[in-house]
Amino acid sequence: MAAPRKTGLGRGLDAIFGEGVENVLEDIQAGKTEHVSSKTELAVSEIRANPYQPRKVFDDEKLRELASSIKEHGVFTPILVRKSLHGYELIAGERRLRASKIAGKETIPAIIMEFNDEQMMEIALLENIQREDLNIMEEASAYAKLMERMGYTQERLAERVGKSRVHIANTIRLLKLPASVQQLVAENKLSQGHVRPLITLDDEGLAYDIAMKIVDEGLSVRAVEKMVRDAKEPKPEKKEKVRDRNLIYVEELMQNKLQTKVKVETKSITISYQDTKDLNRILELIGCIEED
């Protein structure tokens, strides 16, 4: 006889990641886990945002579309919350909550959960990643926070979120970019391929300058790679020109004679003077002033 299927949240974090967030949410909504406290209607004003929400950018147009639907049909899928000292904290369903506020709803269907901070962080990340709601910089930040908070290696995190280790590594490396360049990536003005070479630059100003050049001129990835290679190549030192010793000797003689700066080069002599009086003095020394 097959063992009964265990509900995800009852077994903690491993079950959440192992089964995938969609299954976990389905179990919650079907009441298949002891971590569900109750299902109810809550006042929108009592619900605070999830402090571990990795998503920072929301599409205003899509929110308005969802708000229009909610205004007409209501919220079909309850949001997930947990009790806090003052009201409730949102676990999952921020788009539904925001759209309900736009629609002017005073209450929203909710399922009250008994979640700890780690579970809130993980399920918020998984919900967004699996629904592809995060931009790449939000995803990178969420991965880094999970690795820091949960002590995951890249390999372990990759297993948890159903991504390749290479994807995790490349995404997290984007956090090494200057904040100004990260913003351009988040706004989809630059692709990962374009900015990957910029990560290797130590000069943040140069990285931003190249990033803006990519945006303004539509440079290819290959062109960017070449620009970065050229920028990192050591500049050849300028060799000082070896002067003719005979010219140096003549230069010193004239400076001692005229008591002023003299530059003797091939086929040219430059004599410096301070004012008209000094010029007349020099002309007299070299015999260029005519007697009256």
- Domain membership of residue 238 (yes or no) is no
Residues 253 and 275 placed together within one structural domain of the fold: yes
Count CB neighbours of 97 within 10 A. 22
Inter-residue contact 109 to 79 (CB < 8 Å)? yes
User: C-alpha angle with apex 109: 104 to 110, nearest 5 degrees?
Assistant: 125
Query: What is the H or E stretch that residue 268 is in?
Result: strand 268-271
Place of tokens 């192992």: 18
Q: Where are the beta strands (DSSP E) in 152-267?
A: 262-265
56-80 pLDDT, tens digit each: 677 778 888 888 998 888 888 888 8
Q: What is the total count of domains within the chain? A: 4
Residues 19 and 86 placed together within one structural domain of the fold: yes
Residues 43 and 122 placed together within one structural domain of the fold: yes
Please state, in angstroms and rounded to a whole number, the distance separating the CA atoms of residues 105 and 43.
9
Query: What is the H or E stretch that residue 168 is in?
Result: helix 165-173
- Domain membership of residue 86 (yes or no) is yes
Residues 32 and 117 placed together within one structural domain of the fold: yes
Place of tokens 């369903």: 93
- Domain membership of residue 102 (yes or no) is yes
Residues 51 and 123 placed together within one structural domain of the fold: yes
Residue 233 has what pLDDT?
79
Residues 163 and 208 placed together within one structural domain of the fold: no
93-143 pLDDT, tens digit each: 888 888 999 999 999 988 888 777 777 777 777 766 666 667 888 888 888
Residues 84 and 118 placed together within one structural domain of the fold: yes
Please state, in angstroms and rounded to a whole number, the distance separating the CA atoms of residues 97 and 45.
10
Residues 223 and 272 placed together within one structural domain of the fold: no
Amino acid present at 165: R
- Domain membership of residue 291 (yes or no) is no
Non-local CB neighbours of 21 within 8 Å, separated by 6+ positions: 123, 126, 127, 130
Q: What percent of the chain has pLDDT over 90?
A: 15
pTM, whole model, 2 decimals? Answer: 0.57
Residue where a domain stops, chosen among 81, 111, 133 = 133
219-255 pLDDT, tens digit each: 898 998 998 888 887 767 666 677 888 888 888 888 8
Q: What is the DSSP letter of 9?
A: G
- Domain membership of residue 290 (yes or no) is no
Residues 98 and 19 placed together within one structural domain of the fold: yes
- Domain membership of residue 292 (yes or no) is no
- Domain membership of residue 95 (yes or no) is yes
Inter-residue contact 214 to 190 (CB < 8 Å)? yes
What average pLDDT is seen over the chain? 80
Residues 18 and 52 placed together within one structural domain of the fold: yes
| Residue 56 structural domain | 9-133
Q: Which positions are catalytic?
A: 94
Buried/exposed 251-290: b ≥16 CB within 10 Å, e otherwise: beebbeebebebebeeeeeebeeeeeeeeebbeeeeeeee
- Whether the pLDDT of residue 1 is over 60: the answer is no
- Domain membership of residue 239 (yes or no) is no
Residues 182 and 122 placed together within one structural domain of the fold: no
Strands of the sheet containing 88-92, edge to edge, are 36-43, 107-113, 79-83, 88-92, 47-48
Residues 219 and 103 placed together within one structural domain of the fold: no
Please state, in angstroms and rounded to a whole number, the distance separating the CA atoms of residues 139 and 116.
21
